[in-house]
Amino acid sequence: MTNTIIDKKEILERDVEVLVNKADVLINNTIRKINYEIINMYWNLGKMVSEYKKDNNSKYGDAVVKRFGEELYAKYGAGFNSRNIHRAIKFYELYPILNARSKSKKVNVRDQSHEQKVTARSQSNQKIPTWRKFQNITWSHIRELLKFKDVSMINYYLNEVENKRLSHRDLITEIKSKSFERTIANQSEKPVKNSIEKTLKDPMILNIENKKRTEKQLEDEIFINIVNFMKEIGNNITFYNRQYKINYNGLLYKVDFVLYNKEHKNFILIDIKMNKVSRKDISQMQFYKDFFDKYIIEKTDSNTIGIILCETKDVRVETDKDIYQIKYLNEIPKEKELLKIINENKVILLKTEDLKLNK
């Protein structure tokens, strides 16, 4: 009798789980559909107002939008004020084709209107991006990003929202931390050497308490916040090991952290240094990297990446193309201070690249 009751309870629990999962899927799909329709509405609004201004050869664009916004605001509410109409127009101009559901359509610059071609040229010859099939983007995200003029910055944050499932508040934090400016690929004037530079931040913000500590204590705090730490490195990063042991010629070495990039299929080795990076530190990381490339990685893996996380970088210490000196910050500093550090990083990065070119 007891077993029968237990069996019925297990069946009930499974049925409830299926019911809840089905409801979650339905709710999530409904939310995505609503978000898509809202974005679609604003894109079409921007298209219609842009074409209206063009057809009427209006020299008073702002006045037209303001008057139109007042009429729509009175009829439909705050979502249709002149500010949102300006955003909708910019959204349409940045994304001439709303390509959220079709993968086959592509933006062809030759098919764009004169106004859109001018917009393309004004973006420093950047490609006009298509509106891709994002799953987690809302109009709130887009509205936040349309404050920027740089198309590459807008697309960077859209991808961050999509890949990391950032809420609107999370996105504001990413912007406040200058995530785009801190990305190595956006600091160098040279082409990107490998894929990690598109996501790896320098400086890296650890979001830990600002206090004096040993390297071991810093390592412990990073481990506690390992999820946020991995997000500073990139997307699809997984934790592999801590204090990974390497036995070589009777000597024992330990790598502070070993991560794995599932998207690009390579190991990422992290070594923590409280002081300025030395040539010895670079040689040690080179040894770790060579060991992994020779004995650990699979045939399908890419070359191992080495990151030396340090308090102070040294431009005189040349690094291999797959080894990076990355400065760490305990928390997000004030904007001016953060921008100063980013600019200093650019100078160091350029000097380091010049060292390699002149070698």
- Least Cα distance to 262 among 320, 299, 302, 215 occurs for 302
pLDDT of residue 241: 96
- Alpha-carbon distances of 314 from 71, 121, 122, 286, rounded to whole Å: 60, 39, 37, 17
| Domain residue extents for the chain | 2-176, 180-357
**pTM of the model as a whole:** 0.78
Please answer whether residues 341 and 329 qualify as being in contact, where contact means their C-beta atoms are separated by less than 8 angstroms: yes
CA distances from 111 to 93, 107, 114, 239 (A): 13, 8, 9, 46
Return per-residue pLDDT of the chain as tens, 359 residues: 555 656 777 888 888 888 888 888 888 888 888 888 898 899 999 998 888 877 766 666 677 788 888 888 888 988 888 889 989 999 998 887 665 443 434 434 344 444 444 344 444 444 444 555 677 889 999 999 999 989 889 989 998 998 888 999 999 999 999 999 999 988 877 777 778 888 999 999 998 876 678 889 999 999 999 999 999 999 899 999 999 999 998 899 999 999 999 999 999 999 999 888 888 999 999 999 999 999 999 999 999 999 999 988 887 777 777 999 999 999 899 999 999 999 888 777 665 655 454 55
Compute how many other C-beta atoms are within 10 angstroms of the C-beta atom of residue 62. Answer: 10
Q: What is the pLDDT of residue 131?
A: 56
Contact 268, 277 (CB under 8 A): no
Sign of CA pseudo-dihedral 322, 326, 332, 338 = negative
Fold of 180-357: Trna Endonuclease; Chain: A, domain 1 (3.40.1350)
What per-residue confidence (pLDDT) applies to 101? 43
What integer pLDDT is reported at residue 350 of this predicted model? Answer: 63
Cβ pair 311, 275 in contact under 8 A:
yes
